[in-house]
């Protein structure tokens, strides 16, 4: 069960997200105000590319970073297009790029196509900015494929590997996160993990933190190495911090 300390830790590792199809400027303003809450602040906001400039302006002077998504959510294979989208997002003020791996290429055994995409975007995301690679583990399904995608992404230069877009029926699972953490540990590289999608309660967040502590060691999971990609979990974490009853892992109150 999540306690106040765990909830505070999760809040600071949160990538507070709005990737809804009907997102508006007002929604971004609300998101950014939440992100700056003194009980956090959260690590980053994650928004559509067209809202990066808005988020940058609202968060000016804040330590909250701005993440955006490219090749999202389909994980296509047009490297040139994704490169252009990435350059534009960085120019607009994004600090972090969440790139969807061409996971269908991985499924059919075309690892070079997937690796080339990550490497190309890695070359653009520089100057202390982060590249998070979304594996879409709910589509890869097979543990061996999840392990392969993790290795491939790390070798090609990912700063983080991320479970999911949140746009598929199966998003983050502890089973996928455990595979990814074990690959990170074996790599010996300073790569982070971002479970994303379907994380709605303080207990959900605590589960992934506990998993990271068990595999990587206590204290490893900080905003530099661990993020939680979520939108609805924010209110649950605040409720836990304030001693109020929030939603349970079953989604009830």
Q: Give the CATH number of the domain where residue 179 resides.
A: 3.20.20.70
User: Tell me, what's the pLDDT at 89?
Assistant: 98
Q: Catalytic site residue 194?
A: yes
Number of H helices, E strands in the chain: 11, 8
Q: Which DSSP letter does residue 50 get?
A: G
Which residues, at least 6 apart from 57, have a Cβ–Cβ distance to it below 8 Å? none
CB 205 within 8 Å of CB 247: no
Q: Is residue 163 part of a domain?
A: yes
CA angle 236, 65, 228 (to 5 degrees): 35
Q: Is residue 249 part of a domain?
A: no
User: Tell me, what's the pLDDT at 109?
Assistant: 98
Q: Catalytic site residue 224?
A: no
Considering its fold, how many domains does the chain have in total? 1
Both tokens of 199, joined, read 């994380």
Give alpha helix (H) positions in the chain. Answer: 4-12, 25-35, 52-58, 79-92, 103-107, 111-124, 137-140, 143-155, 174-187, 202-216, 233-241
Q: Is residue 121 part of a domain?
A: yes
Q: Is residue 247 part of a domain?
A: no
The residue whose two tokens read 């009830």 is 252
Dihedral angle, C-alpha 43, 117, 51, 21, nearest 10 ° = -100
Catalytic residue among 15, 85, 98, 203: 98
Which residues, at least 6 apart from 168, have a Cβ–Cβ distance to it below 8 Å? 73, 136, 138, 139, 197
Q: Is residue 17 part of a domain?
A: yes
Catalytic residue among 34, 132, 194, 204: 194
Catalytic residue among 85, 159, 162, 204: 162
Domain of residue 84 covers: 4-241
**Cα–Cα distance between 41 and 64 in angstroms, integer?**
7
Q: Is residue 103 part of a domain?
A: yes
Q: What is the mean pLDDT of each run of 10 residues along the chain (253 residues)?
A: 90 98 98 94 98 98 98 98 98 98 98 98 96 98 98 98 97 98 98 97 97 97 98 95 72 35
User: Tell me, what's the pLDDT at 248?
Assistant: 53
**Cα–Cα distance between 164 and 40 in angstroms, integer?**
24
Angle of helix 174-187 relative to helix 202-216, nearest 10 degrees, comes to 30
Q: Which DSSP letter does residue 101 get?
A: P
Q: Catalytic site residue 162?
A: yes
User: Tell me, what's the pLDDT at 93?
Assistant: 98
Q: Is residue 248 part of a domain?
A: no
Cα torsion angle, 23, 27, 29, 34, sign: negative
Nearest to 208 by CA among 193, 224, 186: 193
Q: Is residue 252 part of a domain?
A: no
User: Tell me, what's the pLDDT at 247?
Assistant: 63
Q: Which DSSP letter does residue 226 get?
A: B
Which residues, at least 6 apart from 114, have a Cβ–Cβ distance to it below 8 Å? 101, 102, 103, 105, 106, 149, 152
């Amino acid at each position: 069960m999540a306690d106040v300390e765990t909830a505070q830790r999760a809040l600071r590792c949160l990538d507070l997200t709005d990737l809804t199809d009907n997102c508006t400027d007002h929604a971004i303003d609300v998101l950014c105000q939440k992100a700056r809450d003194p009980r956090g602040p959260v690590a980053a906001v994650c928004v559509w590319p067209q809202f990066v400039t808005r988020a940058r302006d609202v968060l000016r002077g804040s330590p909250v970073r701005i993440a955006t998504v490219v090749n999202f959510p389909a994980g296509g294979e047009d490297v040139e297009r994704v490169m252009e989208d990435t350059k534009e997002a960085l120019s607009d003020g994004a600090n972090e790029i969440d790139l969807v791996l061409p996971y269908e290429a991985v499924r059919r055994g075309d690892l070079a196509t997937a690796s080339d995409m990550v490497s190309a975007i890695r070359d653009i995301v520089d100057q202390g900015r982060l590249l998070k690679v979304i594996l879409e583990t709910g589509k890869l399904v097979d543990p061996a494929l999840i392990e392969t995608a993790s290795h491939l992404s790390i070798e090609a230069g990912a700063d983080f590997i991320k479970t999911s877009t949140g746009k598929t029926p199966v998003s983050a699972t502890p089973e996928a996160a455990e595979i990814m953490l074990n690959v990170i540990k074996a790599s010996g590289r300073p790569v982070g993990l971002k479970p994303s999608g379907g994380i709605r309660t303080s207990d959900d967040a605590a589960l992934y933190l506990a998993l990271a502590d068990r595999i990587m060691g206590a204290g490893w999971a900080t905003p530099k190495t661990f993020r939680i990609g979520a939108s609805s979990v924010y209110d649950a974490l605040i409720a836990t911090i304030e001693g109020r009853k929030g939603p349970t892992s079953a989604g009830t109150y």
